[in-house]
Structure 1
């Protein structure tokens, strides 16, 4: 017996942030708007300078992106600027024509890609390209994400007059999506952007990941590149990485306009798969395109490998767990090595690990991010961690020390509170030095009385000092232009501090500043290298 036919129309799109994070309302903030020729920019208290910069950049990238893809949004896209956590969760929502833009630079919290361009231009252009591309290729208007048709078949029921049908014995479902672009193409084209607005580049980090995948025989298959599911964080990044490379392959062999043509080839109602769009535009199937790209990569990297076979230098492997092992730091006595690792975890969830050379042992002490440092006695490690939500629900980077000789864990009361969700307890071996400090990359002064760190606020970084005894802080620099700072370090006499500086124009250099305060100057200058 033929049963019920169900038709479900997707009306909205769940925000990416809602899938992975718990958003908190912030009634303490006041919100404002900036309206430009093509955009509406919404921002909260304290973000006016950042929002003005975003509005200017948005207007500069509008024409190059919309001209390439020959599509202009029907209404002004809204860019929502916020700085409520020390993280970057920027995303786009085509059904509401919105870009959610976070003011923490990705250069601190994203280690699988290089940082060679202005991060605000990079992320904003990336998300706007997504917004344009998605709406260009959609089959359905407005908030409709697709159609879902479903029917049931039922057993015949002839024995009782009071029973209308028997039990369901078959079900058939059909999903008809509005968008059919695979992740590798959506992310690849968003990283490529357009020739007139390219603020992302194929950097050495990406090339390392792709090169190792090719040489080790672990390149994602064509089908694996088409989904994000069933992958580790590195697998997720491989979709981005491989997709960017394959998109560059398309541009180099078929021209930039092929990207626009592929998007429009997905729009017809009768086209259900992306390979058909590839064949109609490029004249080859998706698998043939993949095979040609793969062969090109294998040839390139084999040539590179053979040219360096006599230059290999191999050290002694001491730790090979995880795929992100970062910021190594020798202990004062040279017998231990502290570093961050995502061993036993995934994505950027790194922990503080100490490796002891005498017995080849390692011990993880707890979550940590950015650069770390030892105290002079070699018993404490200074590090950054994202603290639990404050009274407004914001999670900021704060400074902590881990006492290695303290083996105590959680008390019974802490364990009980944690098990029922009343608190996220911290073992007594951890001492918190700042509260809502927004502090990263800490380093002890040679005398141990001060800590230099990077302060994050409103899309800009500055250097600051923390007095270890009083807990008071003071600013060393006063950038307001989106400058990013990394890994400050003291001179042996404690009189000066060197730091890595990433200017908004893309220049990466090394600066130096008196610890007592004053003007900073370049120690090493470079031009976008």
Structure 2
């Protein structure tokens, strides 16, 4: 039975190892990690991210005192803050270890309006750290206690159980809602038009997620956003407005009481109502408010809905005959990965899926050539020499038959190499491509010719905007969805200047930049009219995203839709009279067709959109103040364990048996960059005295059951080095019949106690030979590891 305990300890430690982000990129051993220390933080970052790290340090120190004083808490030590960069945007805080991680590049996300990413994510994650620690029942490094019990195997009715009683365990809606709320208080986040859109559509369609679904990250990807994030933020703001801002602080304080295991209990104590009662108040008020908002909109103007499958359909592009529409769609998937498909507009008697045709190997952001012959698209399928994925622009032939065993498209051309390039778009003659490329903390606009061969000479890629002087010392300047003008001489694009998202115009040689639209709204997705005299775009001018037309000569703006959800990403046909666009409705982001392009009968009405007005941040100078990073494990988690097991009964009729209790703990320590990790666990039997050491020449006495496990791993080089040691001591007893030898035929029964002690040690070295991603609709990681190691073990048997 103790073997089960040992296995559980091994799994508990192995779970931590699975989160190390080094499985495919050879441990990122090429990175020159640096460490710089400020008053309240230790920042760890790649040397090339030093400027961004200084900006992040300024944000973190700027919000530190406000959050610490607000929650009346003292952190156990300086926060270990790791700064990374990759092909995704993310951030997380570990309140147990007092650590933070953020990724600096702001890749666009379809369910959020545009904010200053670094200001928001730093404040959001630090608010997690402070608020969750304020709600911890014991020191933050003790995450909970594991309690378990195991019946003997031949008991008629088994009664096994194992559980963890957490010391931190708040519902996700409250944790995420408070983090967003705290960032809003600092001016770095806001209840924006995207969140309002998702909540409005769900409320009016009676599809708000119940409070139970808001507590966890479950279901399809869009529910992740709608539940803990969007609804969590809305409910948190409701509690603040209805019960006072201080109620949020009191809820964390009440939750920190040792006996308090549910947020509902904390809310009943602080607010006088359970979480369900507060949720119902919020739900009813929210639904009523949105119903009034829709009444004020006036006559609604929509196009015809073309899709019902998938919650993420985006980037519509007309084919050259105007007989169909290419678009990215995640139909049949639970995440946001969206392969490109073609929808035929004729044959409307056929089912939707019968009119759809997939485009092999093309996914996400794309454009189609004017004659439909090829596609350009962004993909992260290739890696650099260090095994790190980079987003690049590729070209492929369109709508071709793919052989069953084809591994790579022979028509594919690579337009960029290791540039982190995205949002590609063709010129009208198909000879050039415009795209954006990411640098740490900002994006740049680039133009390149379509390569004649398989690859493009990097010298032919021209960066045209912004100039170094415009963005020097600034972070958060982003560029999106650039489009060539019909004559190929100008480029329209959306950009974020650190405060608002606007529409700009520039010549293809980089001269003559003009902010065409720079109003206090979120203005995005510009699309040229065929004659080049106007363009279409999406904006939240009335608090709801709609499609508008801007005319250059008159400098006038006309609304073309009036929707309840939100209208995005317009694509106009060659006649200029039909617009394919994306409309957010009850099914998510759906494809619509507006056949008659004309303004609504009356001006749009609604609420004024809210956008954060952020304060300037003074970057901290880290150059010359940093030191080489030392991967020393300093932070960890300790989990006490109490486990009971019953000795095997002597026969199947037995109803009772002696109970054996073991106590101990599991824990691990690591360094902030996760280069070195130490994990250990120990359980020992209680109730047999305190002489745990030295008997029978064993370090731990064999008459008491015990389990010990130690694992050490190092990821500092391209070769992963690991070592593990396990020792187990299992005790048991047998009933032995001793036959009489004196002829009296009187046998006796005797109990024989014994112990089995085993030891096992392993060392290994692992190296990833290569890393690649396969083509097709699914991204499949294909890698081969070279591993060598040594294993030693022995066993001893003791009569006790």
Match of 1:328 in 2: 316
Change (3 A) 1:133 1:72: same
Q: Contact 1:372/1:382 (CA < 8 Å) preserved in 2?
A: yes
Q: Contact 2:375/2:397 (CA < 8 Å) preserved in 1?
A: yes
Which of 57, 60, 63 is the matching residue for 1:61? 63
Which of 239, 246, 250 is the matching residue for 2:239? 250
2:266 counterpart of 1:265: no
2:440 counterpart of 1:458: yes
Which of 265, 286, 289 is the matching residue for 1:276? 265
SS across alignment from 1:169: coil
Match of 1:113 in 2: 112
Match of 1:101 in 2: 102
Q: Contact 1:486/1:500 (CA < 8 Å) preserved in 2?
A: yes
Select the structure with the greater relative contact order (CA < 8 A; seq sep ≥ 6).
2
Q: Which of 210-219 and 311-320 deviates more?
A: 311-320
2:449 counterpart of 1:441: no
CA displacement at 1:195 relative to structure 2: 6.0
SS across alignment from 2:305: coil
2:503 counterpart of 1:510: yes
2:490 counterpart of 1:496: yes
CA displacement at 1:473 relative to structure 2: 0.9
Q: Contact 1:404/1:429 (CA < 8 Å) preserved in 2?
A: no
Q: Contact 1:278/1:286 (CA < 8 Å) preserved in 2?
A: yes
CA displacement at 1:527 relative to structure 2: 2.9
Give distance in 1, aligned partners of 2:15 and 2:137.
Answer: 15
Match of 2:671 in 1: none
Q: Which of 184-193 and 485-494 deviates more?
A: 485-494
Q: Contact 2:395/2:413 (CA < 8 Å) preserved in 1?
A: yes
Give distance in 1, aligned partners of 2:45 and 2:260.
Answer: 40
Cα deviation 1:51-103 (Å, max 9, x = unaligned) = 111111111121222222222322111221112x2112321122222111112
Q: Contact 1:443/1:453 (CA < 8 Å) preserved in 2?
A: yes
SS across alignment from 1:387: coil
Match of 1:241 in 2: 230
Cα deviation 1:16-36 (Å, max 9, x = unaligned) = 965999675111111112222
2:201 counterpart of 1:212: yes
Cα deviation 1:262-283 (Å, max 9, x = unaligned) = 1111111111111111111111
Give distance in 2, aligned partners of 1:466 and 1:508.
Answer: 25
Q: CA RMSD in A?
A: 2.8
Give distance in 1, aligned partners of 2:216 and 2:332.
Answer: 24
Change (3 A) 1:242 1:300: same
Match of 1:160 in 2: none
Give distance in 1, aligned partners of 2:18 and 2:199.
Answer: 26
Match of 1:394 in 2: 388
Change (3 A) 1:405 1:220: closer
Q: Which of 210-219 and 519-528 deviates more?
A: 519-528
Change (3 A) 1:348 1:473: same
Q: What pairs with 1:101-500 in structure 2 (closer than 5 Å)? A: 101-106=102-107, 108=108, 110-115=109-114, 117-154=115-152, 169-193=158-182, 196-229=185-218, 231-239=219-227, 240-308=229-297, 311-359=299-347, 361-366=355-360, 371-411=365-405, 425-428=407-410, 430-469=412-451, 470-471=456-457, 472-477=460-465, 478=467, 479-480=471-472, 481-482=474-475, 483-500=477-494
Match of 1:37 in 2: 39
Q: May I ask how many residue pairs the two structures share in their alignment?
A: 500
CA displacement at 1:321 relative to structure 2: 1.0
Q: Contact 2:25/2:386 (CA < 8 Å) preserved in 1?
A: no
Q: Contact 1:440/1:454 (CA < 8 Å) preserved in 2?
A: yes
Q: Contact 2:25/2:388 (CA < 8 Å) preserved in 1?
A: no
Q: Contact 2:184/2:190 (CA < 8 Å) preserved in 1?
A: no
Which sections of structure 2, spanning at least 5 residues, go unmatched?
A: 349-354, 523-800
Q: Contact 1:382/1:400 (CA < 8 Å) preserved in 2?
A: yes
Change (3 A) 1:142 1:305: closer
Q: TM-score, normalised by structure 2?
A: 0.59
CA displacement at 1:182 relative to structure 2: 0.3
Q: Which of 27-36 and 402-411 deviates more?
A: 402-411
CA displacement at 1:174 relative to structure 2: 3.6
Give distance in 2, aligned partners of 1:290 and 1:16.
Answer: 36
Give distance in 1, aligned partners of 2:112 and 2:210.
Answer: 22
CA displacement at 1:143 relative to structure 2: 2.7
Cα deviation 1:328-372 (Å, max 9, x = unaligned) = 111232122111111111222111122122345112224656542
Change (3 A) 1:14 1:187: farther
Cα deviation 1:409-432 (Å, max 9, x = unaligned) = 453xx5xxxxxxxxxx44445443
Q: Contact 1:64/1:194 (CA < 8 Å) preserved in 2?
A: no
Cα deviation 1:450-493 (Å, max 9, x = unaligned) = 21110101121001112223443121123452200001112222
Q: TM-score, normalised by structure 1?
A: 0.87
Give distance in 1, aligned partners of 2:244 and 2:222.
Answer: 30
Change (3 A) 1:285 1:13: farther
Change (3 A) 1:293 1:145: same
SS across alignment from 2:28: coil
SS across alignment from 2:81: strand
Change (3 A) 1:398 1:251: same
Q: Contact 1:153/1:169 (CA < 8 Å) preserved in 2?
A: yes
Q: Which structure: greater strand fraction?
A: 2
